[in-house]
A and B are shown apart, each in its own frame.
Chain A
Amino acid sequence: MAKYIFWRILQMIPILLGITLIVFLLVRVSGDPVLLMLGEEATAEQIEALTKSLGLDRPLYVQYLSYLGDVLQGDLGMSLRYVNQPALEIVMERLPATLTLASTALLIAILISIPAGIIASVNRHGLPDYLASFLSVFGQAIPNFWLGIMLILIFGVTLQWLPVSGWDNPWSVLLPAFTLGASLSAVLTRILRSSLLDVMGQDFIRTAHAKGVSPVHVIFGHALRNAALPYITLIGLEASSLMAGAVVVEQVFAWPGIGLLAVQAIGSRDMAVVQTIVLFAAVIVMSINLIVDVLYSFIDPRIQHG
């Protein structure tokens, strides 16, 4: 197992290199930060002077190699939007907000999907099943920015039960986390329902019923454990979509996490910050995938990595 994990970590290096190159190029072809910074009143001399002082007048490959060299030494560059402040520090201070949001969203998705999936599969073709199916299709179909704005209108503006935006107190996370978790809970409900139905038709479940095991124990003791594999796989796969969804949700709720930072940094062509965010996101997603793969062998010992 240790050898497997080591190899997986080694494989991350060329992927990360590729990612740095792509992001580096994308940020540079999409617009000139100098023109953005100087605004309407810029003169040609000012543009030239700032371009030079930021090192943007050098050939692209020189800029990229010097960036890579700096990254290896732990220097991810200075932010352009936040004058003279290090990109790494700016990104790091946002991690807690995004992790809080994403983990609450995941928790909400799990808390909704497990009972919903069980009820739907137990009552196959019954009203609860149709209701759960309808809600999960609905949850997947609505765009999260729209859901976010609706939740703000209902719970923030009209009922005034929850804070509208920002991260002021522990209640602030509920609306954005529900918005972010809604579509995930829909996907998870559907997968749990179908894999439970699969398992419920198998011989060992019939045997359990024949032995007189209580239906509750059959579901929680036998069926759920066997249906968990695709469910956990999906959580791993959807981790990256949680990160992507956070970009939109954080913008809507002014949630001061990495997603909001990414949007603002891209808008102002804050190159060092954009590059740092993408590097972080890549490492996080790859780590989650690795953890899920390792978890497999614990849940199902038949799966061996070697």
Chain B
Amino acid sequence: MFKRMKTGASALALLIGISGAAFAQDREIVVAQGIDMPGFDIHDHRNTAVEAVMINMFDYLVMRDEKGVLQPALATDWEVISDQAIRFNLRKGVLFHDGTEMTAEDVSFSLDRVTKDPSVQLNLFYKAISDVEIVDEYTVIVRTHKPDAILLNRISNVGSGIVPKHYVEKVGWEGFATAPIGTGPFKFVEWRRDDRVIMDVFPEHWRGRAHWDRLVHRTIPESSTRVGELMSGGVDIALPVPEQELARINATDGVETKPSPTSRVMNLFLNTKEGSPLHDPKVREAVDLAIDEQGLIDLVMGGMGVPTRASIVPGITDVPMELFGTYLYDPERAVELLKEAGYGPGELTIPLAGPKGRYPRDAELLEVISVMLNQVGIKTELSILEWSAFQSRYWGIQNIDGMVLIGNASPLGDGYQQTYRFVCGALWSEMTGWCDERFSELVLAASTSTDRVERPKQLGEAYHILTEGRPILPLFQLENIVGMSSAIDWTPDANESLWMYRAHPKGN
């Protein structure tokens, strides 16, 4: 934010002949993203980029550190008292931004709506929780309907942010959505829609005062403008940065780029139903072998991304990491497999569809995948549609005609999330026509298992069955690029969070 004062005030300073020093101000950090907040109702949104901003104002009972490991936050410790209940001891002396103290009443109130009201968007992740019992002022017991191995994962998201009961009861959730109060390191000051969210430091934050006096989140939809602001010093951190801007930023003094890993994996979903050429496992394997994942990353994604054979990323619990960081590519073998399946070069045509503008470089990915398939003799009927049209024609109405490109994220950070929909009869199993009894048995067992030794084995085997069965071909972990001022010390973490408590000026 140091250079920023030059921009707006320089002309004025020149005109009236005063020095820039007169504009010295508090320490401010400005972060720019392409999207705006939908409001600050922490239960009614579904966007990682929104949570990334909200986390600055709210704390959860348990929060992830930069490596994605769960750490005590508003709860100092917890005890698993049965496979359906955990007792949390709350931190004492935690203050809300209005100066009142957080107690068990607030925790119970905060979780009550998101676990019980199906009309709020995050209810999906929290409906497994049956009730929150207040034991005393600083102790609660959270219970689930069924044994739940991922209760801690659930409550480490913004949907379980703790809000002040007395305030929400006074202003209602609608009032809260435009004037939120939490316990986070920054407190809400102002929201100008499609422009900026302004937050001031909350000096009484239980972790201690943040390094910044003011945090501004700006909305700049046009990526070249976002990069322009970064290079002129108007913003300190800009994301995402398109791959084609990498060189321009890296050639400029004072700014740099860093990779920002996401939990999103780009996948091809395959129609394995009878009547589809992909019903034949050999054809599915041929498609897998024809696609050069590292080639896609290098050619299309500017080197950003990690190939994977399962829809998993580092930091997700109970998943077989040997399937991550690796891929299969053998075009000669792909040609042989097609021949064994009865298809000569050019004799097989498979529809390939995907969205444009939903994920970074999605349309280009589809085009290059199409060329790669062509090289082993598979023709494609390529449909690249704007997201809403794509949803209406393919994904949203659960119609996979051949292959579709989709990116799937794992916000709960657990291996169950990308497998349970392939259980026989579940959504993705129906969409792809793939059903495996052993796989379903393992995933269902893992869904209620709290056994920390058995569960990784169950999910591990399930992922291997899925990888061999190929109703889904994972391509690579999506990595965003973050552009930032070199004067700031901050590393994007695996949670895609923009928690600026962790950022500080270099040298401090």
Contact = CB atoms under 8 A, between A and B. Distances in A.
A67 B409 CA distance: 37
Leading 3 A-B pairs by shortest Cβ distance: A31-B388, A35-B391, A256-B195
Contact of A82 (B193, B220, B387): B193
Interface centre among A39, A149, A165, A252 (most CB of B within 10 A): A165
A161 B7 CA distance: 6
What range describes how many residues of B lie at the interface?
35 or more
A166 B196 contact: yes
A253 interface: yes
B234 A163 contact: yes
B44 interface: yes
Interface of A: 30-33, 35-44, 46-47, 49, 53, 81-85, 90, 93-94, 149, 152-153, 156-157, 160-169, 171-172, 251-254, 256, 260-261, 263-264, 269
Given A82-B38, A84-B41, A160-B232, A36 B195 contact: no
Interface in B228-284: 228-229, 231-234
Interface string B185-196: 000000011111
Nearest to B6: A160
Given A32-B388, A166-B196, 18 more contacts: A31-B392, A32-B396, A35-B388, A35-B395, A40-B407, A43-B427, A83-B38, A152-B224, A162-B7, A163-B8, A164-B228, A165-B222, A165-B229, A252-B225, A254-B195, A254-B225, A256-B192, A269-B388
B491 interface: no
B119 interface: yes
B314 interface: no
A149 to B, nearest CB: 6
Contact of B234 (A30, A85, A164): A164
A38 B46 contact: yes
A91 to B, nearest CB: 10
Contacts of A263: 221
B221 A251 contact: yes
B264 to A, nearest CB: 9
Contacts of A40: 395, 406-409
Contact of A83 (B8, B12, B41, B408): B41
A164 B39 contact: no
23 contacts: A33-B388, A37-B46, A39-B46, A49-B118, A83-B41, A84-B41, A84-B177, A85-B177, A90-B193, A149-B225, A152-B224, A160-B6, A160-B7, A162-B8, A162-B11, A163-B234, A165-B222, A165-B228, A167-B192, A171-B8, A252-B225, A254-B225, A261-B193
B238 to A, nearest CB: 11
Nearest to B40: A83
Nearest to A33: B388
Contacts of A157: 228, 231-232
B76 interface: no
B194 A165 contact: no
Contacts of A161: 7, 10-11
B423 to A, nearest CB: 13
B10 A85 contact: no
Contacts of B219: 254
B11 A171 contact: yes
A283 B229 CA distance: 35
Given A82-B38, A84-B41, A161-B11, A256 B396 contact: no
B398 A44 contact: yes
Contact of B45 (A41, A83, A163, A166): A83
Contacts of B11: 161-162, 171
Contacts of B356: none
A107 B41 CA distance: 41
Contacts of B396: 32, 35, 42, 47
Interface in B451-477: none
Interface centre among A85, A90, A254 (most CB of B within 10 A): A254
